[in-house]
């Protein structure tokens, strides 16, 4: 809210003085579950599980010289973080 500069200079109270303040705030406590987002999370976890199996197989089959957890661990950690943020949001 920006005050009227003329009222500030002339020291007159504004007619809109009472409307400039918040009288009431309503907060909705109940969060509804979004089935579409939950299905997306489930499909994301399925894709991550498939990726983990494929990466583990590729690393062992082609004798790649690193541990597959370097690929799998960050994926699972960030997916768990996103899932946790959705389920424990305020």
Q: Tell whether the model's pLDDT for residue 82 goes beyond 70.
A: yes
Nearest to 54 by CA among 39, 71, 40: 71
Q: Which residue has the higher pLDDT, 22 or 57?
A: 57
Domain with 40 in it: 5-87
- Residue pair 75/45 in contact by the 8 Å Cβ criterion: no
Is-above-0.75 flag for pTM? no
Number of structural domains the chain divides into = 1
* Residue 3 binned pLDDT confidence (cut-offs 50, 70, 90): low
Instruction: Return the structure tokens found at 60.
Output: 């062992």
């Amino acid at each position: 809210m920006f005050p009227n500069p003329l009222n500030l200079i002339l020291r007159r109270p504004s007619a809109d003085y009472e409307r400039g303040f918040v009288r009431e705030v309503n907060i909705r406590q109940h969060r509804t579950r979004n089935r579409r987002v939950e299905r997306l999370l489930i499909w994301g976890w399925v894709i991550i599980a498939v990726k983990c199996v494929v990466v583990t197989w590729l690393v062992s089959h082609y004798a790649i010289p690193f541990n597959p957890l370097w690929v799998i661990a960050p994926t699972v950690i960030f997916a768990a973080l996103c899932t946790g943020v959705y389920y424990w949001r305020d």
